Chains A and B, each alone.
Chain A
Amino acid sequence: MRQNITEKIISAHAGKDVKAGEVVFVDVDWALVQDGTGPLTMDVINDMGKGVNNPSKNCIFLDHASPSSKFELSDSHNKLRENAEKYGMDLNEVGYGICHQVMAEEKVRPGQLVVGADSHTCTAGAFGAFASGFGSTDIAVAMATDRIWLKVPPAIKVEFTGKLHRPSTAKDVILSLIGKLSARGATYKSLEFTAEAPSSLSMESRLTICNMVIEAGAKNGIMEADGRTLEYLKYERPQEDAKDYNLYRSDPEVDYEEVISIDLSGITPQVALPHSVDNVKPVSDIDEAIKIDQAFIGTCTGGRIEDLKTAAEVLNGKKIKKGVRLIVTPASARIYKRALKEGLLEIFMESGAMIGTPGCGPCAGIQGGILGSGERCISAANRNFKGRMGCTDSYIYLASPSTVAASALDGVITAAG
């Protein structure tokens, strides 16, 4: 039976060969929750009264309110700490990092099956793993039993040809793809990415692309692991042995529902206009001056070291526009330390930016950097739904970290030169 990579990974975890459309139970390698979805997951686990099957597979992250902005959230954090202690589950404290980034740095291996009570769990597909987001109850059952049921998704293949040219980055690639597919163009499906020159895409870029497949409704995004993946893993986790990784490849001549070809050399800086992520335009097509009040570099989409580096290059030695607030929030403590060592944080501070605690920052309107009425924010995040950053009457524009930085300097939306 010819299978694509997603079908192969699901087969390996179902204990039988599967194809798209089948409903199967699969073994789970990792199950994660965060501070917004986790408390409900713990309630369900406790109600079921069976405990958890293998606590070492379960990860809890205190990242959305990092640090907590309300006493109710502090109480939720304590509830998660208590349950982690009770069941012996891994708890990642406030300030340690966004769940998806920490999973990438420390946990996910090629060929694994990852489920999480957070929609951007799909990020981990960048390692050649199957990763998908679910709700609290599904993850409670996954944590309790190490299993979850799912329908094997049909796949759309996205082939990248050519190479990206500066200042365009992975964020521009995925924004332009979502613009083409629409916010529901890949609902229930797998988006499988291949590249003519795979090594040209850094792991950071792959994580950004897989992170946003949910914005087109997809169940998972996936890229085969290659030399670049192994290099990244060796650097981030020298203690692991590459022999333990399962490197799956799609069989040649498998059928895809659709094949989309994207020439990376033709990608220019993109922006998603309010209030929908598929409302995408090249920055060069914006003919009015869109004045911004806030600029935000961070999140599980745009807060990695490569993102901070490209932003710092743009900001180096310059000052942000008076009246604009620039918030930079490294996605994890590891990234924070590297940015500090490499002098990036100093560049940000000198430009007039402020640095946030590793975590989700103002991405979901929970803390630090909530917009005011009528305000406009350009953000390196993944969502610009109405009200997303805490105020119904505000406007979010999504772009790459370098476009965000350039816009902070100009005070209006503009791409880096």
Chain B
Amino acid sequence: MKEKLTGRVHRFGDNISTDLICPGKYFHLRSNIPELAKHTLEDADREFTKKMMPGDFVVAGENFGCGSSREHAPIIIKEVGAGAVLAKSFARIFFRNAINIGFLVMECNTDDLNDGDELIIKPSEGIIKDITAGKDIKSAPLMNKMLDILNAGGFKEYVMKTS
């Protein structure tokens, strides 16, 4: 896990489903991640992949990633270069999948994070600095088990290292 992440906010609302993140109509592209990733979050914001710069953050409200178990949802958000997803709350399977692929997800109060804000994040301290608004936000700590998995680079890597 990187010590420090910097990037801009791409703002989304509540209940962003896995169908909005990774639409079922591209089901056949799941074996082709670069192609699939061109449609990341397409049904929530058609311009997202054009605006997205490597390192930027996906920021949302409650229940991010609700719906299906498709691991491709966090995989393509990672693939387009997002540094992390920040949300007020996550759906259980999405959260676990993100950690399992070694992708940072942080639960925090995102109410004051606005589209375009510059953020500096220190994952190990759980601190999110909103440079634009001049405000600090604290994220909920990750379960130890999840930290270990994240530090190993993902669950596959964790299992290969530990057994």
Contact = CB atoms under 8 A, between A and B. Distances in A.
Interface stretch (B4-12, B94-102, B117-125, B132-140): B94-102
A54 interface: no
Interface stretch (B26-34, B47-55, B76-84, B108-116): B26-34
A350 to B, nearest CB: 32
Contact of A390 (B24, B66, B91, B156): B24
- Kindly state the interface size class of chain A when it binds its partner: 35 or more
A119 B43 CA distance: 21
A47 B157 CA distance: 10
A185 B25 CA distance: 28
A72 B24 contact: no
B27 A48 contact: no
Given A188-B92, A217-B92, A47 B156 contact: yes
B159 A383 contact: no
Interface stretch (A36-44, A285-293, A308-316): A36-44
A158 to B, nearest CB: 19
Interface stretch (A129-137, A295-303, A317-325, A330-338): A129-137
Contacts of B91: 184, 187, 217
A65 B97 CA distance: 23
A257 to B, nearest CB: 16
Interface string A385-410: 11111111000000000000000000
Contact of B66 (A48, A72, A184, A219): A184
Contacts of A133: 69, 93
A249 B81 CA distance: 48
Given A366-B28, A389-B24, 15 more contacts: A37-B70, A40-B30, A65-B28, A73-B27, A116-B69, A119-B67, A135-B69, A135-B71, A136-B97, A137-B156, A140-B156, A217-B91, A219-B92, A364-B19, A365-B25
Interface of A: 23, 36-37, 39-40, 44, 47-48, 50, 64-65, 69-70, 72-73, 75-76, 79, 116-119, 121, 133-138, 140-141, 144-145, 149, 151, 183-184, 187-188, 217, 219, 276, 364-366, 370, 383, 385-392
The 6 closest A-B pairs by CB, nearest first: A135-B97, A72-B28, A135-B71, A365-B24, A385-B19, A70-B28
Interface of B: 15, 17, 19-20, 23-25, 27-32, 42-43, 62-63, 66-72, 89, 91-93, 96-97, 100-101, 143, 145, 154-156, 159-160, 163
